[in-house]
Amino acid sequence: MDSGIGAFLAQLTLTTTASHENDLPDLIREIMKEGLFKQLPNSVAWLLKLDTMLHHRFAVPRVLLQTEENPAMFKQKPPDGHEFRSSFGLYNDTVVGLQSYLSPLLLSLSPWVWGIPATRAGGVIIYTFGKEVPGKHAHATEPLQHFHSKGLSKKTRTKVDKRDIEETMHWWVDRLNLLFTEITDPCNFRNAHDQFEPRVQFERMLSLEQLFRNIQSISSLERDPHATRIMLMDTLDTLEGMKLLSFAEMCKLSRAEETLKIIEAELPANVAKLLLPRARAGIQALRDLQDGFFLKARMSTDGNIILPDKKGGTEQVTKEKAVAQWLRVLRNAGHGFGGRGSGGSPRDQVLLLVHDANIPPDISDLAYLYLLRLVTFPELLRRFDPSLGT
């Protein structure tokens, strides 16, 4: 059996999850006194409770859609709740544990970790360490880890303390409250006739949890940059599908830098200390991608990239725009390079030729940047907000 801190934390969370409610206070005192305090003296145990009203608000569109599908339910009440479990597995984190909604927070310094959740029905116990601790060994410790693709991150360690963590915990939970308010507000899902559309809200809820689960995977799969890059593309597609920003805009360096600047102005200093390093790493990776254009025959004297246009000629494109278009080619390669039998457009073909495709592993943190934008500004979920998508 592994005897490191990972094994200790696994035992800690399993014990907390499995214990009876009446035993929980004494158990946590024992865990803190005999376990965490000895290794991490500034540790804190947090109780985050989920109001049952939140569960009900998330259930409303699901129930309405089921009764629309089967009006007989109005006359004969279903014997149990299983009739209303449509796609429940795709957005049940708001009922049990908030796992995906807390992982981007607790892994904000990944590959370092400063807290860990222990899921329970109706809430979650979060143990924070009062500092950042390494989230992985310097080398692969399991045989399967030797089969991950390789990549060298430029992230450096950020020193944080108990005060930083406490302020960030309160900030994030407050923002989740606002985020859940917006996603469960029927007024945000009206059609042109001012009628509530439960199907639109239902799909939006599914998309929101998918977004957080993607970031959870990116945050924890730090050893596999190929997998996290695929998750990045999926996340950008989800954000575009939610009409928050277009894929092309999110891949532009100037848009990413502007987004960071806006978020930075909104965050308290202690919170920014924990939440912004990964966002900065993603932007730096996007900046480094511009250095991958190497074919001088396709470069203008002022550094632009010469690409085919739609009329059979050529046009000069800035490196920023070329990188965004190159990432789109990479995203479309999920169906195979060259597309579905079309061979790809001449521009796509040239983009593949002029870039060396040395992709910084931290590029996946671009997804984290835009998730942080949504957490910082939950009002972006308002369907009729005039600033939506800008």
Q: Could you read off the pLDDT of 320-360 as tens digits, one per residue? A: 999 999 999 999 988 888 766 555 789 999 999 999 989 99
Q: Looking at the predicted structure, is the pLDDT value of residue 138 above 80?
A: no
φ and ψ at residue 121, rounded to 5 degrees: -60, 130
SS3 content of the chain, % helix, strand, coil (to 5): 60, 10, 30
Among 5-9, 108-112, 146-150, 168-172, which is the least confidently predicted range? Answer: 146-150
Q: Looking at the predicted structure, is the pLDDT value of residue 108 above 80?
A: yes
Place 201 in a pLDDT band, splitting at 50, 70 and 90. very high
- Residue 231's nearest CA partner among 253, 256, 258, 212 is 212
Q: Which of 12-16, 104-108, 152-156 has the highest mean pLDDT?
A: 104-108
DSSP secondary structure letters along 124-177: EEEEEEEEEEESS-SS--SGGGGGSPP-----------HHHHHHHHHHHHHHHH
Q: Looking at the predicted structure, is the pLDDT value of residue 390 above 60?
A: no
Domain boundaries, given as residue ranges, for the chain: 21-52+89-139+158-284+363-381, 295-355
**Dihedral sign, CA of 263, 265, 268, 273?**
positive
- For residue 315, the tally of other CB atoms under 10 A from its CB is 13
Beta strands in 2-143 (DSSP E): 44-49, 112-120, 123-134
| The pLDDT of residue 200 | 92
- Residue 64's nearest CA partner among 180, 200, 177 is 200
| The pLDDT of residue 21 | 84
| The pLDDT of residue 181 | 94
| Mean model confidence pLDDT for the chain | 87
Within its chain, how far is the Cα of 12 from the centroid?
A: 25
Among 125-129, 142-146, 249-253, which is the least confidently predicted range? Answer: 142-146
| The pLDDT of residue 80 | 66
| The pLDDT of residue 98 | 85
Query: Which comes out higher in pLDDT, residue 67 or 256?
Result: 256
Q: Looking at the predicted structure, is the pLDDT value of residue 388 above 50?
A: no
Phi-psi region of 118 (alpha: psi -120 to 50; beta: other; left: phi over 0): beta
Beta strands in the chain (DSSP E): 44-49, 112-120, 123-134, 305-308, 314-317
